[in-house]
Amino acid sequence: MITITNIKRVGSEKTESVTIEGGLIKGWNLPTDQQGEGQVIDGQGGTVAPALIELHAHLREPGQTEKEDLSSGLAAAAAGGYGTVVSMPNTSPVVDDPAIVRSLIEKANSLGFARLRPAAALTKGQKGEELAELTYLKEAGAAMFTDDGRTNENARTLRLGLETAGSLGMVISVHAEDATLRADGVMNEGPVSEALGLPGNPAAAEAARVARDIEIVAGLHAQGVPARLHIQHLSTARALDLVRAAKAQGLPVTCEVCPHHLTLTDEALRSFDAIYKVAPPLRTQADADHLLEGLQDGSVDCLATDHAPHTRAEKERDLLDAPSGIAYIELAFPLMYTRFGETLGLERILDLMTAAPARVMGWDEPTLDAGAKADLVVLDLTTERPVNPAEFKSKAKFTPWAGETLKGWPVLTVVDGKVAYQR
C-alpha cells in the first residue's frame, strides 16, 4: 500500500492524498487508519494526472542495445512520466515472431519501470512483402502492427494488412512517406536545403503517401470492412489537411504529431548538426503552426515522441551518414508544457498524452477514480530547471534542448501501483 500526500488533481486547488493498493487506486483522502502500514510519499504540492501513454518509442531491443535497451528505455519513459510505452518493431531481429513479443513483455514486467506494449511488424522482416502472422502476434500481446522505419511501398500488402488487422480489432500505424519521392533527401526540401546544399525531402513525399493510404481505408470502409489506420509523426500542413478531410468523411483514420515537429524547424539544420536529423524531417514554421492548430481543433489525435535513440558517435557523423532520430522521452511533457502551456492549456496537453493515445488504440481511457488502475504521474508545474542530459536514464545522453529551462517535470511515476520513478 502507498499513500501519496500533498498533491492536487488537475483543475483543482485542493491539496489531497491518494491511496493505492494491489495495483489499483483504493481511494482519495482516506483517513489515516485506512492508509494501512504502507509507504507515505510526499507529492511536494505537485499536480497528479494519469500516467502518460507513449504510442511511438524505439527501445532498440533486441539487437541494438548499444543505442538503448528495455531497461534504459523504460526507465527513461518512467522518468518522463509515462506509464505505458508502445515500442517499435524495427529491431534486430525485427519483432515479427510471437516468441519475441512474449519475451519482451516478460522482461519488461520484471524491470518495474514503464509498462511495455510492443508493436509487432506488419510484414515479415518489415520487408513489405508478406504479412506477418498477425493473429499469433496479437495473441502474444502485440499492441498494434507497424512497419515503422520502413514506408509500406507495396499498397496491396498494406490493404491486406488493414483487412486482417481490422478483423482482429487492431490498429495499423504507418510511417507515411513515399520513398521514391523522398529519394536521397535528408532534410526538408526548400530554400534552407538549397542554401545548405543538402538533398531535400519534399513535403509531397508525406502528403502523397497519406492520400494513398486514406484512399485504401476509404475503399475498405465503403465495403463495410473494418480497418483502422493510424498515421505516425505527421509533419506537414498538407498531409494534415488530408487527414482533416478524411475525418470529416467519417473515415477511421487517426494521426499523431511529435513535439519536435512543433518546436523545431529546418532552420536548425543550418548548424549541420545531425542531432536535428529526423524522419520525417523538421519542416517549416508554417507547417509547425499548422500542426499546432491541428492539436487545438482536434484534427491531430494525440502526441507521440518517436523517441529514437542512437549512439553519440553515430550522431557525430555528417548529415548524409548520420542516422535519423531524436531521443527525448524524458522531456516530452516539460517541453510541451513549457512551450505550449499557454496556447493549448494543461488539460489539453495532458489529454493528448494520456486519454487520447488510449482512444487511438481502443484502450480504456485512464482515470484517477477509485477502483481505476494505479498508473499515475505527479508533475511539478512550477519549478524551472535546465535540461541536463547527464541525468538522462536513456542511453542517448544528448538532446537539442540541452541547457534549456523547462517546467512541468515529473517528480513521481507510479505504474501498476508501484513506484517506477521518483525524483
Partner 1 sequence: MGARPPHLLDFQDWTPERLGAILDNADTMLQVLDRPVKKVPALQGLTVCNAFFENSTRTRTSFELAARRMSADVLTFAAGASSVSKGESLRDTLEVLTSYKVDAYIVRHHAAGAAHLVARYSGKPVINAGDGRRAHPTQALLDAYTIRQEYGSLEGKKVAILGDVRHSRVARSNAELLPKLGAQVVLCGPTTLLPPGLAQMPGVTLTTDPREAVRGAHAVMALRLQRERMSGGFLGSLQEYADTYQVNDTLLKEAESGAIVLHPGPMNRDLEISSDAADGPQSRILKQVENGQAIRMSVLYHLLVGRN
**Residue 175 interacting partner from partner 1, Zn ion, none (CB closer than 5 to 8 Å by kind):** Zn ion
Looking from the CA of 382 toward its CB, the CA atoms found within 13 Å total 4
Phi, psi of 325 (to 5 degrees): 135, 140
Q: Which helix (H) or strand (E) holds 68?
A: none
The three three-digit cell numbers of residue 309, written as one number: 535513440
Does position 320 bind partner 1 by CB under 8 A? Answer: yes
CA distance 263 to 299: 19
Residue 390 CB, nearest approach to partner 1 (Å): 19
Does position 390 bind partner 1 by CB under 8 A? Answer: no
Residue 324 CB, nearest approach to Zn ion (Å): 8
The three three-digit cell numbers of residue 151, written as one number: 514506408
Catalytic site residues?
Answer: 306
Q: Which of 316, 347, 364, 391 binds partner 1 (CB under 8 A)?
A: 316
Residue 75 CB, nearest approach to partner 1 (Å): 26
- Contact range with Zn ion by CB under 5 A, out of 117-125, 137-145, 174-182, 343-351: 174-182
Considering only residues 143 through 162, tell me which ones interact with Zn ion, judged by CB under 5 A. Answer: 148
Does position 268 bind partner 1 by CB under 8 A? Answer: no
Q: Of 326, 309, 331, 329, which is closest to residue 385 (Cα–Cα)? A: 331
In this structure, the number of other CB atoms found within 10 A of the CB of residue 404 comes to 15
- Contact range with partner 1 by CB under 8 A, out of 225-233, 245-253, 317-325, 337-345: 317-325
Does position 196 bind partner 1 by CB under 8 A? Answer: yes
Q: Of 398, 417, 353, which is closest to residue 80 (Cα–Cα)? A: 353
SS3 405: strand
Nearest residue (CB) to partner 1, 155 versus 195 = 195
Does position 191 bind partner 1 by CB under 8 A? Answer: yes
Nearest residue (CB) to partner 1, 233 versus 283 = 283
**Residue 314 interacting partner from Zn ion, partner 1, none (CB closer than 5 to 8 Å by kind):** partner 1
Cβ atoms 281, 309 nearer than 8 A: no
For 400, left (φ over 0), alpha (ψ -120 to 50), or beta? alpha
Contact residues for partner 1, defined by CB under 8 A: 190-200, 271-273, 313-314, 316-321
